[in-house]
Structure formats: C-alpha cells, structure tokens
C-alpha cells in the first residue's frame, strides 16, 4: 500500500529499517496513508480518550454516523455499509502484534524478486504494453516500475485481501492504536462508497484497510485513484488499467522523474568512511564519484551529475552498497519501508533485463530479535552512547549511537546492529 504506513504492521516508522524487514513479499504492503483528514472529523475525535473507551461499539458507531451525515454521507448508505458490522478480534490482534523476529533483508529480497515473480512480470509487461505506454505518456512513470509495484502489492492483482474494509477500519478506529487516523480512513471509505466506485458488499482489502491491486489506503485512494479505462468508476480492484494508472498518478505526485534511476549498486573504495552511509547524508552524484564510489556494472539509466543521492548499506559494510536517487524517495512515499523500496527498484531492474545484485550478503549473520535490539539500545545508553528510548526500532538516534560505539572500538562505523556488536556490549558492561 502506498504510503502510510506500515506494511505488515500498519504504520511503520520510516526510518526503522529493521522494522521494514517484517514486510512479507506475498502480503500486500500497507501504504502509508497520507494523513489528509476529511473535513468531518470533529466531535468524536475530540472526546477525551477515557470517555471514548467507555463507549460501546454501537454508541461509538452512532456518534460516527452523526458525524458522517454532517459531512455529507447519505444515512442509508452508512447503514448499508455498517450492516452486520461488529469489531473483528483478528484485526485487533494483527494491529497489536509485535513480532520478535523479522526476516533478514536478503531473504525478503529473495522472495520479492523471485525468478517466478520476474517471469510473471515480464509476461504481464508484454501483455499490457499498450496501456502501460499510455499511462507513461500521461503520468511520466515507466512500465517496469508500475509492474513491480503491482507485483509486490498484490502479486499482480491475485492477492487483494478478503477483509471487509468497513469492518476492519471500524475495528481499528474503535479500539486500535491511532484511533483518529483510522477514523479518517473510515470516513474516506464512506466517501468512496458514496461516489459509487464500488458497492459496500464488494469492498474488500487487507486487514488494515489497504484496497485493491495497488493496496491504497482510503485517503490515498481519494487523492490518487483515477478512472483510466473510462467507464466512470475508479476501480483499483478489478480494472488493471485503473490500478496501474492510479499507482502512476501517486508516484507522479510524489515527484517521480521519468528516465531517472531509482538507484544502482555501487562499489566503495578501500578505507571508505561508512558514516556517510546514512539516510541523512545527501551528496551529488559527482561528489560521490569524487569519494571513489563506482557503479557495479553498467547502470540501466544514467542520472544527472548533480542528482542528489544517499548511500545505503542494507546489511552493513559486509553487504552490498547502493546509491539511491530521488525516485527511491518517491517509492518510499508509496510504502515507507527501505526494504520495500529496494525490492521495487531491483524488481523493476530485473524486468528491464538487469543482472541482479552482484555483491554478496552476510547470510551467515544472525539477526537481532526485537528484545535483543531493545537490549542493545539499553546497553548503549548505559555506556553513554545515547540511542534514545529503547523501543527496538533502529532509527537515526540508534544508528548514531552504534556508530559512536563502533568508532570507540575502532571498528568500521556502519551503524549496523549485528550480534557481534551486542556480544561486545555484553562483555564490557
């Protein structure tokens, strides 16, 4: 799903790389929803939390109904959409689960860019060449990127989820975390139904409300879904043309640059300063060249010399390295997961006939589980390397603390949390 949040877990924090690894290639990614709040959300959102918690689902629904009607939703439509809707305990469980272990990035990529997905993508690319070319002309987004998104979001439309979206969102808005966010998604879904794009009975999606072949959240749908096949409905569920064009429209508004690369694999010179491999360090392509960085092989497209890029070491200094450009950041707006964006880039390259990643992954490495990442943060804090509140998420503060500790040890300061580092902290504490 485009952007919003979290895939696999709703709403992932952007910077939390490890979190991203939980993304499952076969499950639709959750988009980060653009937090465009429908005009209607007023009274219930303003209720103090304890009061809201005391409401029964029926009371809460009736308050929502008043707000929705005030915002222009037809009462009959509201009642039809909510017919038989009660909270779904499976959705609450999925929303609150915090998996201890996540897949290493190389395993995630292996599933995401599997030979069978590449083969299927090439067939669909050929079959849909005409419409993809019209979409590129209108929105300036290339066919391979769109087919890659289609492939990862819904396995080319074959896995769009089977949850009742109104029920899922009502559950999350009533008792989930981030209730105001879910409520705005729920009101957006009512607007979609009122627009007549789809019947309430057909409105299915992921457990978290991501919809259709593009896995759009409702607010994202309202802003970016388009009717490309001209039948008067924006149908991301059953119309391939609408789904692909909607994804293109989304990327266009996220500043996609046609014919510019998402990124490419690079080789680093001896003695490279790994502190530069950080999402917050941006340099021009020329500056990276001056530091001795070279592409691995021939890139499939050539960026402008002044193109702004960041350097990513997804598995630390012992794994492959990638230079990432503006289009990578556009993919992150679709789904705020570094692993996801890397998978889209690599899958699109494979569809163009690329050779895949040439560097080797540190596959023998054991990944830290969530509680070990918390322990790592606690031990770093105890040693005076401030990683912020220990939450198991490897964000900017934790990377910085890891780097400082690595420098202290005279190790390569790549900011990557591995078991060797944790072992070292355990010995010294």
Query: Residues interacting with Ca ion, by CB under 5 A?
Result: 227, 229, 231, 233, 235, 239, 242
Tokens of 52: 């809201």
Smallest gap from residue 239 Cβ to Ca ion (A): 5
| Sign of the Cα pseudo-torsion (392, 397, 401, 407, in order) | positive
Residue ranges of alpha helices (H) inside 254-351 are 285-290, 326-334, 338-351
Closer residue to Ca ion in complex, CB, 95/235: 235
**Greatest alpha-carbon span in the chain:** 68
For residue 188, the minimal CB distance to Ca ion (Å) is 19
Phi first, then psi, for residue 129 (nearest 5°) are -55, -45
Q: How far is the CB of 224 from Ca ion (least distance, A)?
A: 14
Residue 128 or residue 171: which is nearer to Ca ion going by CB?
Answer: 128
Nearest to Ca ion of 3, 246 (CB atom): 246
Sequence-ordered list of residues with C-beta below 8 angstroms from that of 413, at least 6 positions apart, any chain = 273, 274, 275, 403, 404, 406, 407
Cross-strand bridge partners of residue 264: 323
Show Cβ contacts of residue 59 under 8 Å, excluding neighbours closer than 6 positions.
none
Alpha-carbon distance 165 to 291, whole Å? Answer: 50
Nearer to Ca ion by Cβ, of 202 and 358: the residue is 202
Q: Which is nearer to Ca ion, 18 or 135 (CB)?
A: 135
**Min separation Cβ 2 and Ca ion, Å:** 18
Q: C-beta of 238: minimal distance to Ca ion in Å?
A: 9
Taking CB atoms, the residue at the shortest distance from Ca ion is 227
d(CA 348, CA 152): 11
* 34/104 Cα distance (integer angstroms): 28
Nearer to Ca ion, 120 or 138 (CB): 138
Task: Name the minimum Å distance from CB 205 to Ca ion.
Answer: 18
In the complex with Ca ion, the residue whose CB is nearer, 233 or 318, is 233
Closest to 89 measured CA to CA, from 31, 29, 163: 163
Residues 20/17/281/258 CA torsion (nearest 10 deg): -10
Which of residues 241 and 266 has its CB atom nearest to Ca ion in the complex?
A: 241
| Shortest separation between residue 241's beta carbon and Ca ion, angstroms | 7
d(CA 69, CA 73): 5
Residue 100 CA to residue 210 CA, distance in Å, equals 24
Smallest distance, Ca ion to C-beta of residue 197, A: 8
Q: Which residues pair with 266 in a beta bridge?
A: 295, 321
Q: Shortest distance, CB of residue 228 to Ca ion, whole angstroms?
A: 6
Which of residues 191 and 387 has its CB atom nearest to Ca ion in the complex? Answer: 191
């Amino acid at each position: 799903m485009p952007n919003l949040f979290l895939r696999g877990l709703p709403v992932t924090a952007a910077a939390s790389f490890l979190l991203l690894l939980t993304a499952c290639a076969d499950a639709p990614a959750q988009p980060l929803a653009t937090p465009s709040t429908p005009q209607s959300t007023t009274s219930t959102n303003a209720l103090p939390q304890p009061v809201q918690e005391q409401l029964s689902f029926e009371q809460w629904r009736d308050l929502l109904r008043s707000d929705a009607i005030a915002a222009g939703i037809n009462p009959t439509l509201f009642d039809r959409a909510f017919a038989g809707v009660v909270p779904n305990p499976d959705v609450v469980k999925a929303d609150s689960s915090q998996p201890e272990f996540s897949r290493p990035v190389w395993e995630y990529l292996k599933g995401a860019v599997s030979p069978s997905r590449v083969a299927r993508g090439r067939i669909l690319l050929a079959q849909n060449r005409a419409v993809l070319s019209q979409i590129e002309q209108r929105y300036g987004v290339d066919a391979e990127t769109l087919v890659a998104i289609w492939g990862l979001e819904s396995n080319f439309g074959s896995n769009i989820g089977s949850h009742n979206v109104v029920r899922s969102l009502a559950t999350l808005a009533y008792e989930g975390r981030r209730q105001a966010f879910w409520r705005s998604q729920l009101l957006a879904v009512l607007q979609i139904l009122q627009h007549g794009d789809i019947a309430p009975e057909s409105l299915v999606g992921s457990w978290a409300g991501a919809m259709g072949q593009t896995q759009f959240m409702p607010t994202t749908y309202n802003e970016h879904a388009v009717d490309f096949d001209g039948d008067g409905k924006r149908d991301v569920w059953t119309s391939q043309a609408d789904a692909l064009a909607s994804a293109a429209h989304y990327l266009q508004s996220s500043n996609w640059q046609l014919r510019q690369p998402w990124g490419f694999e690079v080789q680093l010179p001896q003695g490279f300063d790994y502190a530069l491999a950080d999402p917050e360090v941006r340099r021009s392509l020329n500056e990276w060249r001056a530091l001795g960085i070279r592409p691995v092989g021939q890139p499939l497209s050539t960026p402008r010399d002044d193109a702004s890029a960041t350097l990513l070491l997804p598995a630390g200094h012992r794994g492959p390295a990638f230079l990432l450009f503006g289009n990578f950041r556009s993919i992150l707006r679709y789904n705020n997961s570094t692993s996801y964006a890397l998978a889209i880039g690599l899958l699109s390259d494979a569809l163009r006939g690329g050779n895949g990643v040439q560097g080797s992954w540190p596959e023998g490495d054991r990944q830290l589980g969530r509680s070990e990442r918390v322990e790592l943060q606690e031990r770093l804090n105890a040693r005076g390397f401030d990683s912020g509140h220990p939450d198991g998420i490897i964000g900017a503060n934790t990377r910085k603390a890891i780097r400082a500790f690595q420098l202290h040890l005279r190790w390569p300061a790549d900011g990557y949390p591995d078991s060797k580092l944790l072992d070292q902290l355990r010995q010294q504490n």
